[in-house]
């Protein structure tokens, strides 16, 4: 069993410097009042200096073995703040100079910057619509359409719009590299909508693409997705286990109750990162019937107990020997951690191997649909 690479929103935020910005290493202005800038280039340069300062800090922290997560988080928070201020400055510029000749790159930067933030996705879609209305013939219209489709994909409740946007993009640029990502996103949207058979068929159609036929890696990726999808609707394997407080649990204890099984290791930073998403789901839905069973594969039970003593999760936890045969994790074919399995109230697998921000989206749908 191996640890997964970290996939966090923070990695996306590290790309927060605008567009293809080439920035000089200069100190950020300190104590200056916000000032109006009279060209896109001026806005670009002003914020470029600020992004460069934060990138320098990230580079320094990356080399510091003793750097704490809190220090890195502080930099990411500052980058987010700069992003939002950058968008506001660009919007003010457009309002002040509606007939300027450099509005296309300004509108482009607004779309791309907003699309990096989960809580600004609707704004990103509106900004993309504005861009496409004003600059439909631009060379970067393709990038904006892709950002729009991606933003809709990540917005709960806008799945139908997302499908239309993705289909439109794929239809316009079928051979583009972005269309490969769009096809994958389309599968995710279909799963968000519980259209599992259509999602499976979409994956099988991807296997017929010439570029996929020529790539063993692409074929393996799609085959893994199909294997994961094959778990949907299966009954959860029978199990009997004891929690850390010696409470016996089996499938019967979760009958009629939706459940999340979280397989993790408290010594893994990636697992602890995922634990944050799991706890968020627990906090939001525990009073609505969600049950969570944490299964740790720590090297030893005492190590897990020590961690939970310092940082209790609030939900049931057990320890399993990762090398033992016949355990629930072996029967679930778990080969990498962290790993989440959602089980509906009928004891069937609702979603298999979902993570991070998608986890909450699937949990919400499972609870709201009374699964």
CATH topology of domain 2-228: 1.25.40
Can you give the pLDDT at residue 160? 98
Q: For the chain, what are the domain ranges?
A: 2-228, 240-368
- Please say if the pLDDT value at position 23 is more than 70: no
- Please say if the pLDDT value at position 17 is more than 60: no
Can you give the pLDDT at residue 206? 95
| pLDDT band at residue 68 under the 50/70/90 scheme | confident
CATH topology of domain 240-368: Glutaredoxin (3.40.30)
Can you give the pLDDT at residue 370? 76
Residue 19, phi-psi category: left (phi > 0), alpha (psi -120 to 50), beta (remainder): left
| pLDDT band at residue 15 under the 50/70/90 scheme | very low
Tokens of 173: 């640029």
Give the whole-number percent of the chain exceeding pLDDT 90.
82
For tokens 């729009």, name the residue.
Answer: 148
Residues 6+ apart with CB under 8 A from 99: none
Can you give the pLDDT at residue 67? 86
- Residues 86-142 pLDDT 10s: 999 999 999 999 999 999 999 999 999 999 999 999 999 999 999 999 999 999 999
- Residues 169-208 pLDDT 10s: 999 999 999 999 999 999 999 999 999 999 999 999 999 9
Residues 6+ apart with CB under 8 A from 335: 1, 2
Model confidence pTM above 0.75: yes
| pLDDT band at residue 28 under the 50/70/90 scheme | very low
Please spell the DSSP secondary structure of 194-240, one letter per residue. Answer: T-HHHHHHHHHHHTTSHHHHT-HHHHHHHHHHHHHHHTTTPBPPP-E
- Please say if the pLDDT value at position 13 is more than 90: no
């Amino acid at each position: 069993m191996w640890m997964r690479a970290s996939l966090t929103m923070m990695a996306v935020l590290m790309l927060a410097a605008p567009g293809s910005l080439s920035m000089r290493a200069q100190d950020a202005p300190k104590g200056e009042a916000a000032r109006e800038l009279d060209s896109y280039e001026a806005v670009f340069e002003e914020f470029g200096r600020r992004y460069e300062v934060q990138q320098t800090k990230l580079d320094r922290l990356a080399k510091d073995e003793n750097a704490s997560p809190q220090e890195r988080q502080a930099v990411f928070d500052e980058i987010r703040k700069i992003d939002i201020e950058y968008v506001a400055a660009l919007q003010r510029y457009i309002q002040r100079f509606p007939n300027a000749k450099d509005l296309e790159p300004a509108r482009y930067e607004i779309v791309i910057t907003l699309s990096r933030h989960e809580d600004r996705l609707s704004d990103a879609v509106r900004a993309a619509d504005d861009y496409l209305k004003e600059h439909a013939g631009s060379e970067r219209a393709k990038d904006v359409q892709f950002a729009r489709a991606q933003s809709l994909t990540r917005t709960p409740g806008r799945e139908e719009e997302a499908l239309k946007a993705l289909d439109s993009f794929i239809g316009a640029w079928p051979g583009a590299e972005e269309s490969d990502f769009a096809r994958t996103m389309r599968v995710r949207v279909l799963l968000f909508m519980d259209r599992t058979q259509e999602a499976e068929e979409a994956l099988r159609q991807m296997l017929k693409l010439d570029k996929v036929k020529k790539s063993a890696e692409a074929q393996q990726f799609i085959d893994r997705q199909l294997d994961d999808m094959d778990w949907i609707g299966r009954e959860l394997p029978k199990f009997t286990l004891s929690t850390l407080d010696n409470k016996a649990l089996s499938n019967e204890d979760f009958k009629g109750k939706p459940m999340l099984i979280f397989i993790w290791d408290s010594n893994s930073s990636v697992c602890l990162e995922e634990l944050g998403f799991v706890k968020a789901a627990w906090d939001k839905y525990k009073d609505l019937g969600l049950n969570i069973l944490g299964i740790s594969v720590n090297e030893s039970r005492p190590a897990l107990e020590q961690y939970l003593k310092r940082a209790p999760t609030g939900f049931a936890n057990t320890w399993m020997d990762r090398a033992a045969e016949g355990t629930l994790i072996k029967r679930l074919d778990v080969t990498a951690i962290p790993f989440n399995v959602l089980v509906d109230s009928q004891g069937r697998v609702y979603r298999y191997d979902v993570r991070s921000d998608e986890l909450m989206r699937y949990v919400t749908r499972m609870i709201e649909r009374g699964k």
